[in-house]
Chains A and B, each alone.
Chain A
Amino acid sequence: MIEVDGKKMLWAESMTLASLLQGLENIEFCSVVRLNGRLVSSPKFTETKIKDNSKIELLPLVAGG
Chain B
Amino acid sequence: MANFQLKEIKSLSYEKAEIKKGYTDQSLRINLDSNDIIINPIEEKIKHKFIGGKGYDLWFLWNSVSGKTKWNDPENAVCISSGPLGGTPGYPGGGKSIVTSISPLTGAPIDSNVGGYFGPYKKFSGFDVLQIDGKATSDSVILIDGIENKIKIFEAKNLPKDSYELSDQLTRYFDPEKPVNVSVVTAGPGAEHTFFGCLNFSWWDAGRKRVRYKQAGRGGIGTVFANKRVMAVVARFGAVSMKSNNPADFEALKLVTKNHAKEIHDLDPKQNRMAIVGTTHLVPIMNDHDCLPVHNFKFGSHPESKVIGEETYEHIFDKGFDGCWKGCTVACAHGVKDFSPFTGPYRGKKVFVDGPEYETIAGCGSNLGIFDAHTILEINFYCDAYGIDTISVGTSLGFVMECFENGLITKDHTGGMELSFGNRFNALEIIHQMARGEGFGSIVGKGIRNMKKIFSKDFGADMAFMQDIGMESKGLEFSEYITKESLAQQGGYGLALKGPQHDEAWLIFLDMVHNFMPTFENKAEALHWFPMFRTWFGLCGLCKLPWNDIVPEDNKKTSEPAKVIKHVGWYADFFSSVTGRKTAPEDIITMSEAVYNFQRIFNLKMGFGTREHDTLPYRAVGPVTEEEYDSRKERYDEQLKNKYGFDISSMDTKNKLSALREKREDQYEKLKDAVYERRGWTKKGIPTVNTVKRLGIDFPEIMEILKKNGVE
A8 adjacent to chain B (CB < 8 Å): no
- Complex Cα distance A61/B481, Å? 17
Mark each residue of chain B from 485 to 528: 1 if its CB lies under 8 Å from any CB of chain A, else 0: 00000000000000000110010111001100000000000000
Asked if A41 contacts B289 (CB within 8 A), the reply is yes
Does chain A have a CB within 8 A of B348?
no
Measured in the bound complex, the distance between the Cα atoms of B503 and A36 in whole Å is 32
B551 A60 Cβ-Cβ under 8 A: yes
Which residues of chain B from 265 to 299 have a CB within 8 Å of any chain A CB? 270-272, 279, 281-282, 284-285, 288-290
- The answer, yes or no, to whether A39 is at the interface (CB within 8 Å) is yes
B477 within 8 A of A: no
Please state if A41 and B548 are interface contacts (CB–CB under 8 Å). no
Give min CB distance, B365 to chain A, whole Å.
15
With A28-B514, A59-B271, A63-B549 known as contacts, the answer to whether A39 contacts B506 (CB < 8 A) is: no
* Contact flags B450-489 to A (C-beta < 8 A → 1, else 0): 0000000000000000000000000000011100000000
Is A31 engaged at the interface, CB distance under 8 Å to the other chain? yes
Closest to A39 in B: B284
In the complex, chain B residues 545-574 whose Cβ is within 8 Å of any chain A Cβ: 548-551, 555-557, 561-562
Dominant secondary structure of chain A at its interface with chain B: loop
Which residues of A are found within 8 Å of B284, using beta-carbon distances? 39, 41
Q: Is the CB of A42 within 8 A of B282?
A: no
Query: Are A65 and B359 neighbours in the complex by a CB distance under 8 Å?
Result: yes
The smallest C-beta distance from B312 to any residue of chain A, in angstroms, reads 13
A65 touches B279 (CB 8 A): yes
Complex contacts, B359 vs chain A, CB 8 Å: 65
Chain A residues lying within 8 Å of B593, measured Cβ to Cβ, are none
Within 8 A of B (CB), among A37-60: 38-44, 57, 59-60
Contact between A61 and B506 (Cβ–Cβ < 8 Å)? no
User: Contact size class for A?
Assistant: 20 to 34
Q: Are A64 and B561 in contact (CB under 8 A)?
A: no
A62 part of interface (Cβ distance < 8 Å): yes
Least CB distance, B340 to chain A, in whole angstroms = 29
Interface contacts (Cβ under 8 Å), in number, total 78
Q: Mark B351-364, 1 if CB is under 8 A from A, else 0.
A: 00000001100000
Contact A31 B358 (CB under 8 A): no
Q: CA A43 – CA B290 in complex, angstroms?
A: 10
Bound complex: CA A31 to CA B311 (Å): 19
B625 to chain A, nearest CB (A): 24
Q: Is B310 an interface residue (CB 8 A)?
A: yes
Query: Which of B285, B502, B550, B555 has the most CB atoms of chain A within a 10 A radius of its CB?
Result: B285
Q: How far is the CB of B283 from chain A (nearest CB, A)?
A: 9
Say yes or no: B551 contacts A31, CB within 8 Å.
no
Closest to A30 in B: B556
Find out whether the CB atom of A31 lies under 8 angstroms from the CB atom of B513. Answer: yes
Chain A hits for B555, CB < 8 A: 60
Q: A29-B514, A32-B285 are in contact. Are A59 and B557 (CB under 8 A)?
A: no
A14 at the A/B interface (Cβ < 8 Å)?
Answer: no
Contacts of A28 in B (CB 8 A): 514, 556
Of the listed residues B272, B310, B359, B550, the one surrounded by the most CB atoms of chain A closer than 10 A to its CB is B272
- Least CB distance, B572 to chain A, in whole angstroms: 20
Query: Are A42 and B289 in contact, with the CB atoms below 8 A?
Result: yes
Residue in B506, B513, B557 whose CB lies within 8 Å of A63? B506
- In angstroms, Cα B284 to Cα A31, docked, is 12
Chain B residues with CB under 8 A of A32: 285
Measured between alpha carbons, how far is A38 from B306 in the docked complex, in Å?
11
Q: CA A33 – CA B367 in complex, angstroms? A: 25
State in angstroms the CA–CA spacing of A26 and B480 once bound together.
30
Q: Per a CB cutoff under 8 Å, which of A6, A27, A43 touches B288?
A: A43
| Contact status of A26 and B557, CB under 8 A, knowing A63-B548, A64-B508 | yes
B 233-269 binary contact with A (CB < 8 Å = 1; else 0): 0000000000000000000000000000000000000
Which residue of the partner chain, among B479, B480, B557, B561, contacts A61 with CB atoms under 8 Å? B561
Residues in chain A near residue B506, CB distance under 8 A: 63-65
Residue of A nearest to B492 (CB): A64
- B556 lies within 8 A of A41 (CB): no
Bits for B635-663, please: 1 = Cβ < 8 Å to A, else 0.
00000000000000000000000000000
B514 proximity list for chain A (CB < 8 A): 28-29, 31, 61
Most A CB atoms within 10 A — which of B270, B503, B508? B270
Residues of chain B within 8 A (CB-CB) of A43 are 288-290
* A27 CB, nearest partner CB in chain B, Å: 8
Q: Given contacts A42-B513, A43-B288, are A65 and B271 in contact (CB under 8 A)? A: no
Interchain nearest-CB distance for B554 vs A (Å): 9
Q: How far is the CB of A41 from chain B (nearest CB, A)?
A: 3
A26 to B514, CA, bound (A): 13
Task: Say whether A61 contacts B551, CB under 8 Å.
Answer: yes
Give the contacting residue for A39; candidates B281, B358, B551; CB below 8 A: B281
Given contacts A26-B557, A57-B270, contact A64 B282 (CB under 8 A): yes
Question: How many angstroms between the C-alpha atoms of A63 and B547 in the bound complex?
Answer: 10
Do residues B272 and A59 form an inter-chain contact, with CB atoms below 8 A? yes
- The answer to whether A64 touches B288 (Cβ under 8 A) is no
Q: Is the CB of B508 within 8 A of A29?
A: no
Q: How far is the CB of B333 from chain A (nearest CB, A)?
A: 14
A39-B310, A63-B548, A64-B481 known; A31 vs B289 contact (CB < 8 Å): yes
Q: A60-B550, A61-B514, A61-B551 are in contact. List 12 more A-B contacts (CB 8 A).
A: A6-B270, A26-B556, A29-B556, A41-B284, A43-B288, A57-B270, A59-B272, A60-B551, A61-B556, A61-B562, A62-B285, A65-B279
Binding site for A on B (CB under 8 A): 270-272, 279, 281-282, 284-285, 288-290, 310-311, 358-359, 479-481, 502-503, 506, 508-510, 513-514, 548-551, 555-557, 561-562
Interface positions of A (Cβ within 8 A of B): 5-6, 26-32, 38-44, 57, 59-65
A-B contact pairs, 17 of them (CB 8 A): A5-B270, A31-B509, A31-B514, A39-B284, A39-B310, A41-B284, A41-B285, A59-B271, A59-B272, A60-B550, A61-B509, A61-B548, A62-B509, A65-B279, A65-B282, A65-B479, A65-B502
